Amino acid sequence: MNASTVVLQWHFTPPDYFEQSITVSREDYTLVIDNGKVEATVLAEVYDAAPSMHDELHGALTARFLGAQLLSHSSFELSRPSMTRVRPDGGSDISVELEGEVIRTSLGVLDTQFQDQHGNIVSDSRRDRIEQRQSLAELISAHSGDLLLTALLASHRTSVRDPDNELVHLYEIRDALGAKFGGEMKTRNALGIAGSQWSRLGQLCSDEPLRQGRHRGKKWTVLRDATHGELEEARAIAHSMIEKYVQWLRSTEA
């Protein structure tokens, strides 16, 4: 080895959260996600010249997990990174951070695969899910420094770990976007959100007598739990709004 390197290492559970190995190559570092472990390898001189790189890498990685969570709605635990400085002679120095980040709601996934008469796979839900998850996670990770995106992902994260108030937190996503663009019509026009979706999320979160909603105990005297279908519908609309905002970020950046 001709130069010192810095290796940042994270651990996460479940170890198959992304369902396959991922390698991300950037000009300054290489990051590998596989089997419950993440390793980012950086030249020491690059790492030392960028004091914020440690936090930026952790933030981008966390955003990647949160992006994947938009589609999986399942829990993960991501540690803070340990750091190993590997010297040219092969020796190393290690420092460890112990703080963790935990989200505690999980759902199972049932996969389907269809083949034609010749045995060729024409539909594979696992493959499609992995590709969609990685694409969205990569896009969100690329814009992890955007403050509004950070807030939207935080609201979604809280909706996962606080199911008793899930619709309250999902409504925060619509509310924050409305504040960003200056109201419903400007937001819908900027992001291409259908009026029916905008209204339906408001109805589910605010107008229905649901225990997970915003106006329980104020507007209604008799409440019921939201059905699985209602929660899935609200999640899908909120997820779509976040995706549309990320697409808007990409288009404005371009």
CA 188 to CA 181: how far, in whole Å? 9
pLDDT of residue 102: 40
Query: Among 88, 131, 67, 62, which Cα is nearest to 1's?
Result: 88
Question: DSSP string covering 14-73, please?
Answer: STTTTSS-EEEE-SSEEEEEETTEEEEEEEHHHHHH-TTHHHHHHHHHHHHHHHHHHHH-
Place of tokens 């994947």: 68
Name residues whose C-beta falls within 8 Å of residue 33's C-beta, 6 or more positions apart in sequence: 18, 21, 22, 23, 24
Chain centroid to Cα 66, Å, comes to: 2
Record the tokens describing residue 142, joined without a space.
């690329």
CA 78 to CA 222: how far, in whole Å? 40
3-class DSSP assignment, residue 209? coil
| Domain extent listing, the chain | 5-102, 143-253
pLDDT of residue 112: 52
pLDDT of residue 104: 34
Record the tokens describing residue 126, joined without a space.
């696992």
CA 160 to CA 106: how far, in whole Å? 8
pLDDT of residue 233: 95
Record the tokens describing residue 76, joined without a space.
């993960």
Record the tokens describing residue 164, joined without a space.
């008793």
pLDDT tens string for the chain (254 positions)? Answer: 467 899 999 999 999 998 889 999 888 899 999 999 999 999 989 998 988 888 889 988 988 898 888 888 888 889 888 889 887 766 666 565 544 444 333 334 444 555 555 566 656 666 666 777 778 888 888 888 899 999 999 999 999 989 999 999 999 999 999 999 999 999 999 999 999 999 999 999 999 999 999 977 566 678 899 998 999 999 999 999 999 999 999 999 86
Q: What are phi and psi of 101, to 5 degrees?
A: -130, 125
pTM of this prediction exceeds 0.85: no
pLDDT of residue 113: 52
